[in-house]
């Protein structure tokens, strides 16, 4: 299952690897293919000092955590997105949050689902008939079902 991960999800995972979000990225990569926009690595690096302040990570801990989370993601350069993908995404997020256009464009390009914790985005997209979004709780339920299925097959 292809999942596009938005920036808030990735930041949450880095801030707390033991959270549901962090564990879904770390352990869910067995069952899901996680993708995100290439620009996100730069965005994380820009906010490194803030992350260090919030988490009390040492420099080494930040580097290790950054690698742990980002190693489970495929970063896709936005140059690979077509004008059609971008235009559709811009139209979908207009009036909601234009900053999410690249994530929607990538979701459409990959024929994936978008994992986001942004309720305003989810609700706004639903009103426009766009249903390819997942909340953390929805993805967690899918994850648990996949784990149960895997365990049953082993027996």
pLDDT tens digits along 100-138: 999 999 999 999 999 999 999 999 999 999 999 999 999
Nearest-CA neighbor of 45 among 1, 88, 4, 14?
A: 14
Distance separating alpha carbons of residues 154 and 42, to the nearest angstrom: 41
Task: Tell me: pLDDT of 6 over 70.
Answer: yes
Q: Answer whether 0.85 is exceeded by the pTM.
A: yes
Architecture of domain 2-154: 3-Layer(aba) Sandwich (3.40)
Asked if residues 5 and 107 have their Cβ atoms less than 8 Å apart, the reply is no
Distance separating alpha carbons of residues 113 and 24, to the nearest angstrom: 15
The mean of the pLDDT values for the chain is 92
In the chain, where the domains are located = 2-154
Model confidence pLDDT, tens digit, residues 22-80 = 999 999 988 999 999 999 988 998 999 899 999 989 999 999 999 999 999 999 998 89
Which percentage of the chain shows pLDDT scores above 90?
79
The residue with tokens 């609700």 is 123
pLDDT at residue 96, rounded to an integer: 93
pLDDT at residue 155, rounded to an integer: 63
Look at residue 125 and give its three-state secondary structure.
helix
pLDDT at residue 21, rounded to an integer: 96
């Amino acid at each position: 299952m292809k999942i596009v991960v938005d920036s808030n999800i990735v930041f949450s995972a880095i801030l707390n690897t033991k959270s549901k979000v962090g564990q879904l990225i770390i352990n869910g990569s067995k069952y899901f293919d996680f993708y995100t926009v290439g620009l996100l690595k730069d965005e994380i690096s820009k906010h490194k000092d803030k992350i260090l302040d919030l988490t009390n990570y040492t420099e080494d801990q930040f580097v290790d955590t950054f690698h742990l989370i980002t190693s489970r993601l495929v970063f896709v350069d936005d140059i690979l997105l077509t004008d059609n993908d971008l235009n559709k995404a811009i139209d979908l997020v207009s009036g909601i949050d234009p900053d999410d256009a690249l994530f929607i464009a990538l979701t459409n390009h990959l024929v994936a689902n978008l994992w986001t914790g942004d309720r305003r985005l989810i609700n706004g997209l639903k009103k426009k008939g766009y249903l390819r979004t997942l909340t953390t709780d929805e993805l967690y339920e899918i994850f648990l079902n996949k784990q149960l299925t895997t365990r049953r097959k082993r027996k």
